[in-house]
Amino acid sequence: MSIPGQQSADALISRLGVHVDPDLLVLALTHRSFAYEAGGLPTNERLEFLGDSVLGVVVTDRLYHAHPDLPEGELAKMRAACVSQRALAVVAREIGLGPCILLGKGERATGGNDKDSILCDAFEAILGAIYLTHGTDVVREVILRLLGPSLAAAATSGVALDWKTSLQEACAERGLGSPVYQVTGEGPDHARLFTATVIIAGEPKGSGTGTAKKHAEQDAAAEAYAALTTVD
C-alpha cells in the first residue's frame, strides 16, 4: 500500500527528522475508515495506543525535571495541555501530516484530513512507529523537538491547561458541587463519534464532541468553564 501524495510523505519524513520503517509508517497513517472500506485492513489504533503511552512518559519526565518545585496537581495540568487533542493537532498540521492520512471516502468528503481528532490520533500513531523503529532515545528527541513550544508555554498557560480540572476547581469555589459528564456514542466502530454534556448544579452548561470520550469531555468542560466564568 502506498501513501497518498508521495511528495507530502517525503516532506513529512523530512519534518520528523528521522526515518520510519515504511510498513509501520503506512500503518500509522491508516485510519479506521479507510481500513473498513478496504475490507478490514489493520488500522493505526494499536500504534496510537503505544504512541500515546510513550508521549505521556516523555512529557511527564521532562516536566518533572524542568519544574522541581511544582506540586503534582500543577504538573498534571501542564501535561494535559501539552498532550491535548488540540495541541497535538497543531503539531500535526505543522509537520504536514493531514494530506498523508489514508481515509475512507466519507471522511475525505467531510474534511477528515484536517479534523483535530484524526490528526491527533495519527500523530500519536506516528510516534508509536518511531518508537518501534528506533527505540526510546530517538522518539524522545522527536517529541521534545516537536512539542518544544507547548512545553515552554505550559509553564505560563495558567487556567486553560486542563479544562476538566479547571472547571472542577471553579465549581468548588462557587459551591456548585462536582461537574457531571454525560457521554453518548454513535456511529459504526470505524467512525465512532462521542458527544459529552457537562451538568453543573442540575443544568447543562457545555457540550463537546470527539472520537474519544476524553476529548469530548475536555471540549464540554472548556465551554462550561467559559460560560461559568463569564457570569462572574
Q: Which residues are annotated as a binding site for Mg(2+)?
A: 48, 121, 124
Q: 43: which DSSP letter? A: -
- Same structural domain for residues 152 and 169? no
Nearest Cα to 131, choosing from 81, 56, 212?
56
Q: Is 124 assigned a catalytic role?
A: yes
Q: Is 116 assigned a catalytic role?
A: no
Number of other residues whose CB lies within 10 A of the CB of residue 115 = 19
User: Phi and psi dihedrals of 34, rounded to 5?
Assistant: -70, -45
* Segment 149-187, tens digit of pLDDT: 888 777 665 545 578 888 888 899 899 999 999 999 988
- Same structural domain for residues 86 and 194? no
Number of domains in the chain: 2
Q: Which residues are annotated as a binding site?
A: 48, 121, 124
Centroid of chain to Cα 81: 10
* Segment 102-142, tens digit of pLDDT: 999 999 898 989 998 899 999 999 999 999 999 999 999 99
How confident is the model at residue 190, as a pLDDT?
Answer: 66
- Same structural domain for residues 109 and 222? no
How confident is the model at residue 166, as a pLDDT?
Answer: 81
Q: pLDDT at residue 5 above 60?
A: no
- Same structural domain for residues 146 and 190? no
Domain boundaries, position 213? 163-230
Q: CA Rg, the chain, in Å?
A: 19
How confident is the model at residue 159, as a pLDDT?
Answer: 45
Q: Are 34 and 104 in contact (CB under 8 A)?
A: yes
Mean pLDDT of the chain: 88
How confident is the model at residue 155, as a pLDDT?
Answer: 67
| Burial bucket for residue 98 (CB in 10 Å: 0-12, 13-18, 19+) | buried
> 198 has which bridge partners?
181, 206
- Residue whose grid cell is 526515518: 19
- Same structural domain for residues 168 and 110? no
- Same structural domain for residues 73 and 151? yes
Taking the C-alpha atoms of residue 25 and residue 20, their distance in angstroms, rounded to an integer, is 6
- Same structural domain for residues 151 and 140? yes
Which one of the listed residues 107, 116, 124, 217 is annotated catalytic?
124
Which one of the listed residues 52, 162, 217, 223 is annotated catalytic?
52
Q: Tell me the CATH number at 18.
A: 1.10.1520.10
- Same structural domain for residues 178 and 97? no
> Grid coordinates in use for 39?
475490507
- Same structural domain for residues 119 and 183? no
Taking the C-alpha atoms of residue 22 and residue 25, their distance in angstroms, rounded to an integer, is 5
- 160, 195, 219 — which closes off a domain? 160
